[in-house]
Structure 1
């Protein structure tokens, strides 16, 4: 169920109208459908007729209480009784009842058994202006198994150019593209750009023959984790245009703690436009939780399937550039080669995001710069992996999570679209960063 499908009836006393209006606006901003007589009654409508209809259409009956109105509980029973008397029968299904304090007060015995409705009490919530609203959102999310919704603002379009190279690293094609995106305002002029990724089906992983060739060439047994190659269907989602930068990290790390503390400037290489690094998996997920709270949208780490699908952007070659990669196309240990390309510069540090050409979705730095954490637990191969694009959690090693994309320090083979690495969730170094996802997707 989506937030926009949940109607919340706000039962209240007239004395609490200003606070209830504020609550109404906050619920609406969060994406729900609150119903309040002052806002939703149209001129000429009779409230005794419309309130029963509104209650019948609601999934939640939110009883707003305060020191002024807590002992006037009759208004709650009265509104429910009006609905019963008018309809002449019990409302179908179940309406969830939530007593919520608008301010510090005793919650009285509301004698709901006398009302006769089929009610279920989700939670008795504290003062909403402090932590009650967050409790409300968590309770509703748990009870209704809320689905993530796409951002409501209009999407903008940006133009870019993609390049393709042959095995010698020579440019063989240049093409103009455009993608849709939205911009999240993080305050103080700092923004987060999220690119729309269309849903689709792709082949994830690497063919056995190619894996064995690479194992022999690079003497790296870990390459066998890229099999078996399989077809995966990925729903649409939004993903960061760039890895999270140090400026974006500072903006969110400075907000209130949810589960763990965040250092505001953890990176080894300093610079607002450099990707944040020295971030472990738990710190990355804490960032996502805080970002979700601040923006009223669900942000998270990508699944491995989403990451690889977004990286490939429709390509089947080792890199989204083509058969190889060069130091002019990405930041990695370019003093080492992958195919027949010339050696390039080993920069020995991160570079500002967006400095190199993007892929066909308009995503930058998917190859090199920093490793990017994924939401999954680590599995040694794809045997039994989900094929719906979701994060693979079951029967994995939850001490480790996958990292994708390579980094400024690593050889080109580690930067391939299909390459999988992993690391302790509690550790992070100057190679490890992340980018965020918003929208469709679920966890297995």
Structure 2
């Protein structure tokens, strides 16, 4: 696939759109991330089984609604989140969202690369120093799929997702048996404490960045219905299953590390297969997202070159110790990323009345103060909120955008060439 067919800096034409199954499989596999299981494990150790289920349902419904709302806009416009950011933040101002979204996905890429390298060394009994050259090899290897583009991601997901589901069912079944069946599972008391708001923020934060940047693929949807259905179902079911699977096993073994859990279950070989397939599936879309943000940041359509450079940056972060920062990283993402989506939605529906003009037909201001201030307000409220930070950030940012518009704070409107 040539670089030009990736539409890094322009709208996706209608003759390049795809149907429900193609979009759903890529997005569904995108949410099948081992890191989400680790996050679910942290929640599982802090709540009873039924509370963990309710937290997963609530958090993932909110996440899926957010993803579907952005997906509809991306499908109608043919633009991804970083390109839509030009309208609400300005030509230069949109680089803020590029940096935030790009760094978030780069952090995930580094975490996945480091986690797989460390886990392989542990499972196979290799010396600890081997993890560093392994991080380099894995980091470069993961980006190969992303270089192929949508076709490569779609092909890999058709193989890895069904196998991953089977492995999860086996692990959860063994955990239930080890707990003494349903009565034993329901009777286990949590060993740690965590508030509901923090737990839901973690659930949302696991894929706050992913839901925002899933517009890289939902913009390929043939219709708004396809975009909404594929996004809602994939994020609710895929991310939900990951959270529940991690929490389910953590409740029984009081261990948030799914690799350690599978070793306790006698599934060491299965754990290796799961980690390799799962992280290879997710790391491709992750570094693809980084390259999409970076392409908009530097205004280039050389996506493959940018993808390789992004993978090298991710490797450096992995070597620097990103694997130890998961929970703080998730809390941060749950606070600073959703306000970007709130501003995009408010700008599309209120500022542009449900239809963007073509990017090549307009001249945009360098800075849109209305959008930038609205984002800042939403992010500050989200970080300070004792309630569910992502929802606070989205709502406050959207309302702030509308109020600032009514007060005449927009720097200057778009001018037609």
TM-score (norm 1): 0.21
Computing the radius of gyration from Cα coordinates, the structure with the larger value is 1
Q: Which has the higher helix share?
A: 2
Q: Which has the higher strand share?
A: 1
